[in-house]
Amino acid sequence: MNVAKRSWMVYATLLVVFWGVWGAFSSQPNTRYGYPNEMIYIIWAFTMLIPAYFALRGNRFDRRPVAAMWGLLAGLTGAGGQLLLFQALSDGPAYLIFPVVSLSPVITVLMATVLLRERIARLAVVGVVIALVSIVLLSIPGGGSSNSHGPWLLLAIIICAAWGAQAFCMRKAALVGVNDATTFGWMTISGLLLVPVAFAMMGGLPSGAPWQAPALTAVTQVLNAIGALFLVMALSRGKASVVAPITNALAPVLTIVLSLAVYQTLPNIWGTIGIVLALVGSTLMVYSDEKGGEEPAAGPDLAADAAVGAGHGAPAVPKS
């Protein structure tokens, strides 16, 4: 297998690991200490500075308008969707909101195939469909709610579209020659720009929260931030129509496995079916990519950028 052509698999795997672990523990600050979700967002925005520093070290920050446009679009769609999710969850049932939001890879696949002319093999198409079904099933938690309609539905649809577009913007940024470090840098800036909005939604700093709440939040959100960098790197090297469904399907599987090990929490029947479908769908997509191969993308990756000091980005080749 050509390692250069398949390097997206490495970054997608790292993404699944980091987001899978983050997913297993991300709710603890809120459920254990009652820490506001908006404060969790604010801490996450600042933790983005950590991977951004390491990504930009040794790489030139691309100051072209096209780099700023696609980087800001990727950042604002991701961070804006996160803020809207807090509002949606305050108005509607999570067990209905998350299945809607989880369809975001559908938006990515449609945009990639229509606007970027990405083509995937028939076997990969089957894998994409299976993975998308698994994502919905994995996002259905136990329990229910009588509030099955309301303004939250529109917000959920907007979030779905925003997060689907985010992955597309990451891919498009790489296609126009923007390096990974620059795209992630603009995403970091976007997240920080929305910090005042989060403060306004929260109504001020929380009082009475123990030190463990922000500390645990910082640790878990660093995993989230690093995962976001790996998403940029995976999308700059692999097709968005394949990377988005795979990562969105496999990260929840790891989260469920870790939750089973740590909290002794068994998945519901839908989650169990979703795990099987996620593994099957992802396997089909990876096998199809190995068999058919991808067109090599233009431009050096982050490692090459660091080596030559050029910083022109990932091969010319989506949370949060």
Q: Token match 């470090």: residue?
A: 181
pLDDT tens string for the chain (320 positions)? 455 457 899 999 999 999 999 999 988 998 899 999 999 999 999 999 999 999 999 899 999 999 999 999 999 999 999 999 988 887 788 778 888 898 999 999 999 999 999 988 888 899 999 999 999 898 877 654 445 556 888 999 999 999 999 999 999 999 999 999 999 999 999 999 999 999 999 988 888 889 999 999 999 999 999 999 999 999 999 999 999 999 999 999 999 889 888 888 778 888 889 999 999 999 888 888 777 654 444 444 443 333 333 333 333 334 55
Contacts of 236 (CB under 8 A, 6+ apart): 8, 170, 171, 173, 174, 180, 183, 297, 301, 313, 314, 315, 317
pTM to 2 decimal places: 0.85
Closest C-alpha among 127, 75, 132, 90 to residue 248: 132
